[in-house]
Chains A and B, each alone.
Chain A
């Protein structure tokens, strides 16, 4: 009897593992492909809009992955992630504006942004990570709102609602030639001129890649296992000897620091920083959607979620315009496919995704993460 139930369990387990091994492979392959596409993006998709999409994806992967560290791995719900993102961006922007376009401005301004984010995260963490999750979420919401008000009111520093425009180091400008040919023009590779724009993209891409790999390393570390233990059963984690408040505060600070780094990248890439692009709650909601679509507590899900959401945000309208044109002779259909209704379709896609992938795409396919 005991024997039978034991073998039944192992058979079930084997079945499940086999199913998820395939899913795991698909997820790794997908993430690998996305990585490759991003690495070669300037040559694969050289037009300006695609470049913007690729750079946004790089930045958001870091931002969303660092948020997954909180919500997916540790079970901390925070609405202040854009606040830390904004602190990195504003620090960089203010320094570039006041000190002029140099790397030292990025270093000093970005560094100041990161330090400010760390200090603020430490304060919020120590003061409020002892309370229940819902109160903590409210505290972060309040902090983020205060930061938005500050950004729009302190217009002497932040440019208020208009934000700040500035120049970035010459190395990153399209006019800068990385390599020149015999005629003194920028050398071309696959028809793409090797100018400062390429250097800027790779600055963003490589920094994002390093940060993402560091996050992957963290979740595979002893600290990463403690975070999951806290998510699973905070009381028992404390009982076997882990100081839960210490670990929560530490990971909140780490996530805040990484989000600030992502903010630096965003600020340097855009040459503009304003509340709309780095602080708004729309971005916070995007981050939440991306992490849920990709799969909480998977890290790789961040990559998939960001790519899907960003592509939909940028290209769904175009796709619908094509669809509406193609079906122009039919009744109703072209109206439904009218690009102005893109949010309706985005919402529908989201509902379907959540229905078929309850633990997110990577989470469901790899058989982990998600909710109870």
Chain B
């Protein structure tokens, strides 16, 4: 008897005009499990993520967090319910400092956002916590710089630091190492591996790099043209002829 799923989608569908970007995807994920979602560009991976974290509303189907139907909740309500999302295209508060970016996420988690007459600087607990996340992501040396001034790799790390600061139950990473240098990527991958060690957490990861997939995945879900075409242990899925065909279509070296 497997543990009950932490997050589950049921016939999840979204159409843009006549085109179904995500088509009737039914899938459940469990605590302690790291699932990598793969598929060629345009397969609907990011769209499916947007449906789960609330940036898009589905045309049909439902989403459950535990037993709770969250299909109608706004992104902020889902964030409070425990779904944390890091974005593929860097999506930060560009003119605010790196520390302030993370502190805002910590503050949201602590539910202190509507305090009107407290000085932010006196909530040192929040700042300390934010600093802790900067240490985890190797960003302490740039804490006072505006986020927009960081090099691309550091912005990707900050994106992950924001997600850590949200302390979610469901971690959703959308190509966290995209565009990162070979030196930088391991920091993020180590972090993800560490997140996974806590068995109460569910990790969903969209990733193209096959070495990353092999190193981290407990399970692989393959999307193709918006449909779920394969789901299973990494060894099994990678061996499927269909999956090899889809991937060979976009470049053999990525599979090899």
Number of residues in B with C-beta < 8 Å to the partner?
45
Given A9-B142, A220-B121, A242-B113, verify A225-B76 contact (CB < 8 Å): no
Contact A242 B76 (CB under 8 A): yes
Interface 9-mer from B26-34, B61-69, B94-102: B94-102
Contact A232 B85 (CB under 8 A): no
B149-202: which have CB < 8 Å to A? 149, 151, 162, 165-166, 183
Interface 9-mer from A35-43, A233-241, A314-322: A233-241
Q: How many angstroms from the CA of A149 to the CA of B118 in the assembled complex? A: 41
Interface 9-mer from A114-122, A168-176, A243-251: A243-251
Given A222-B107, A225-B103, verify A238-B74 contact (CB < 8 Å): yes
Measured between beta carbons, the chain A residues less than 8 angstroms from B103 are 225
Given A9-B142, A229-B93, verify A241-B108 contact (CB < 8 Å): yes
Measured between beta carbons, the chain A residues less than 8 angstroms from B36 are none
Whether A153 sits at the interface, judged by CB under 8 Å, is no
Q: How many angstroms from the CA of A228 to the CA of B77 in the assembled complex? A: 20
Measured between beta carbons, the chain B residues less than 8 angstroms from A228 are 93, 96
**Which residue in chain A gives the minimum CB-CB distance to B91?**
A236
Contact B117 A242 (CB under 8 A): no
Whether B104 sits at the interface, judged by CB under 8 Å, is yes
Contact B112 A244 (CB under 8 A): no
Q: How many angstroms from the CA of A221 to the CA of B104 in the assembled complex? A: 12
Measured between beta carbons, the chain B residues less than 8 angstroms from A6 are 141
Smallest beta-carbon distance A76→chain B, Å:
17
Q: How many angstroms from the CA of A320 to the CA of B55 in the assembled complex? A: 58
Contact A224 B108 (CB under 8 A): no
Determine which residue in A5, A226, A235 has the highest number of CB atoms from chain B within 10 A of its CB, and name it.
A226
The 5 closest A-B pairs by CB, nearest first: A241-B79, A241-B108, A232-B93, A222-B115, A240-B105
A-B contact pairs, 27 of them (CB 8 A): A9-B145, A221-B116, A221-B117, A221-B119, A222-B107, A222-B113, A222-B115, A223-B113, A223-B115, A225-B100, A225-B120, A229-B93, A233-B92, A236-B87, A236-B91, A236-B93, A236-B162, A239-B54, A239-B85, A240-B162, A240-B165, A240-B166, A241-B105, A247-B113, A247-B114, A368-B95, A372-B94
